[in-house]
Amino acid sequence: MKKFKRQQGFTLIELLIVMAIIGMLAALVAPGIYKKFFGAQRDAAKAHISLLEGAIGSYLLDIRKYPSSLDALVEAPGSDPAWDGPYLKKSQLKDPWGNLYQYMRPGGNKRNYDLYSFGADGQQGGEGDNADIVNWE
């Protein structure tokens, strides 16, 4: 008489149940992670704008005027001996989405300058993740 060895492992039904549970958990958790990821990028853009403002302030102390563009923070505009830069790396002129920060001199509402990012979509205006991130709010 032959004795059958019982094979160890999972049945197909057990594997399908586990996969269904993992799928349901992923569906519940993924939207929260997605929101946190883009919220972190917006927070990083706000921090970068503060860093840019500090570099603009250093430039102002050295040159005694505001830069005409953000490029003046990376490379000397002409041969001014008071320029003590670079104040930033070229890579720091881009927002977390890879777009250049916008700089306007003079700024609106009697501000010395405006500094902003167009957000995730790279277009002016927008809502949510696509909303502009500005230095005056």
Averaged pLDDT in 10-residue chunks for the chain of 137 residues = 69 90 85 71 90 94 93 88 90 93 92 92 85 86
Q: What pTM did the predictor assign?
A: 0.70
Residue 52 neighbours by CB distance under 10 Å: 20
| Domains in the chain with CATH codes | 21-134 (3.30.700.10)
Closest to 87 (Cα-Cα) out of 70, 106, 74, 69:
74
pLDDT for 28 equals 83
∠ CA 112-94-85, rounded to 5°: 65
pLDDT for 38 equals 65
pLDDT for 103 equals 95
> Would the CA dihedral through 132, 133, 135, 137 be positive or negative?
positive
pLDDT for 79 equals 79
Q: d(Cα 8, Cα 76) in Å, to the nearest integer?
A: 72
